[in-house]
Structure 1
């Protein structure tokens, strides 16, 4: 695997970590707002954040696995997945 492609994958992983962190921070702020206001609509929005941030977190975890299992004899990894991130998302 060439160096440019490996660097692009690392950059993609860093961006996915950033997105997952932003989602977690927004979810935390929504739960804090619910505690302060005791509003049911804010609670439902906070609970929806769990559904929307879960795929981002799992995608972030799954995208690093093939990179960590690479060896000189198996440049695409031994995890059985391709080096591209998963394409599934929550509906």
Structure 2
């Protein structure tokens, strides 16, 4: 989901497809903190599955404004885990 505020846009960061048959992952750690600037395709977090560990990359350039999970949380595909705000 994307929300507009004045000249800024807030983007939801979700857990995307993790591979065939993988429906959830364990959140490992944040690589970026709230207030950090991020660029498109920059790693912002690490996830663990039974099969592989992977980095979650930002689909947007902007500022990380919220982290909605923490280490050892189990997150499902489609779950919103963060917000990034960008200029419109």
**TM-score for both structures, normalised by structure 1:** 0.23
Q: Going by fraction, where is helix more abundant, 1 or 2?
A: 1
Task: Give the structure, 1 or 2, with the largest relative contact order (CA under 8 Å, sep 6 or more).
Answer: 2
Q: Going by fraction, where is strand more abundant, 1 or 2?
A: 2
* Bigger Rg over Cα: 1
**TM-score for both structures, normalised by structure 2:** 0.24
